[in-house]
Amino acid sequence: MLWKRGSLSSEQVDLVLRHMPLDISVADADDVLVFWKGDTYKTCDGRYVGRDVRDCHPEEALAPLEEILRAFRSGERDVAEGWHETKGRFKVTRYIALRNDAGDYRGILEVNLDATELRALTGERALPGWED
């Protein structure tokens, strides 16, 4: 179980989401897109919010998406992920089932991360800092 401490104001939530170094989208338990942010969704505009999440995916992604949604709803799975390289960038996509404290399915979170720089890391830098 995940634990949290403290709380965030609406402004703080907005700032955290805006500065998070990844792209995200959220659809509710009825598969309706309720939020997205980031360059991954540059082909989506405000018209997609409030519509079925399937409308935001290309035809070739619909069958895998349906399987993910089915497995999340049934409780069979909670995470699905994939990765690919395009135009020299290594990108990771992770779908995560959103569940309340009772374990009820409440929607799906899609997280997209450009992991190109992370993939290239070597050695160790135990404490965060700046490149010299």
pLDDT tens profile 102-127: 999 999 999 999 999 999 999 988 88
Across-strand partners of 91? Answer: 84, 114
pLDDT at 97: 98
Q: Which residue has 């998406």 as its token pair?
A: 65
pLDDT at 15: 95
Backbone angles phi, psi at 36, to 5 degrees: -155, 155
Q: What's the CATH superfamily of 21-119?
A: PAS domain (3.30.450.20)
Three-state SS annotation for 41-60:
HCCCCHHHCCCEHHHHCCHH
Residue ranges of domains in the chain = 21-119
pLDDT at 1: 53
pLDDT of 26-52, one tens digit each? 999 999 999 988 777 666 667 788 899
